[in-house]
């Protein structure tokens, strides 16, 4: 059995980007990397939250901001318990992300922009949602008929076209000093 290693300062790693950008894939890989180092980690995935805690919310601006608020409150509770929390959430509005950041102490909230162009997300379309949105079957879809306000000053901006998922995870862990070298 591997000895428990004290985690780095608990914090939230807030992955934001368009649908299909790679947030969930990166979150799952990052979770595995941290767990392999015996670091307490939790993932709050937007799809899971929408199917459970936030199933009463729609996709208008106010509901999206409430979705972010609820995720942030949950993340704060987990951070306060000593965990690193990875939030994988489109979180399209700068206002919502700023309100989330305000719940945390300095250095506890790390915004990571999964910077994938809309055209690439449309090509990936893992859930077929862009196809439906472009046909008008899905309304208020971020990037199509609802805005996405890209972060202006994220702690990290990751280009998913230049790097593999494993390279991005390594970059996150080193840059954010999540795993001791």
Domains in the chain, ordered, with CATH? 12-175 (3.40.50.300)
pTM of the model: 0.90
Give the confidence band of 59 by pLDDT, cuts at 50, 70, 90. confident
Assign 70 to helix, strand or coil. Answer: helix
Whether 164 is catalytic: no
pLDDT attached to residue 158:
94
Contact present, 14 and 97 (Cβ < 8 Å): yes
Buried b (16+ CB within 10 A) or exposed e, 137-162: ebeebbbbebebeebeebbbebebee
Q: Find the catalytic residue in 91, 157, 164, 166.
A: 91
Q: Write out pLDDT tens, residues 88-123.
A: 999 999 999 999 999 999 989 999 999 999 999 999
Contact 84, 13 (CB under 8 A): yes
């Amino acid at each position: 059995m591997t000895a428990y290693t004290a985690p780095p300062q608990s914090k939230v790693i807030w992955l934001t980007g368009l649908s299909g950008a790679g947030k969930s894939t990166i979150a799952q890989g990052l979770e595995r990397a941290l767990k392999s180092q015996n670091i307490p980690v939790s993932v709050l995935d937007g799809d899971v939250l929408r199917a459970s805690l936030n199933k009463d919310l729609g996709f208008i601006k106010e509901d999206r901001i409430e979705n972010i608020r609820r995720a942030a409150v949950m993340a704060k509770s987990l951070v306060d318990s000593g965990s690193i929390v990875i939030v994988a959430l489109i979180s399209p509005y700068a206002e919502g992300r700023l309100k989330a950041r305000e719940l945390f102490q300095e250095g506890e909230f790390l915004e990571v922009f999964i910077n994938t162009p809309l055209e690439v997300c449309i090509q990936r379309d893992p859930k077929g949602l862009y196809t439906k949105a472009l046909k008008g079957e899905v309304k208020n879809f971020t990037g199509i008929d609802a805005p996405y306000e890209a972060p202006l000053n994220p702690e990290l901006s990751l280009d998913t076209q230049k790097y593999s998922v494993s390279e991005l995870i390594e970059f996150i862990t080193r840059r954010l000093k999540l795993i001791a070298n």
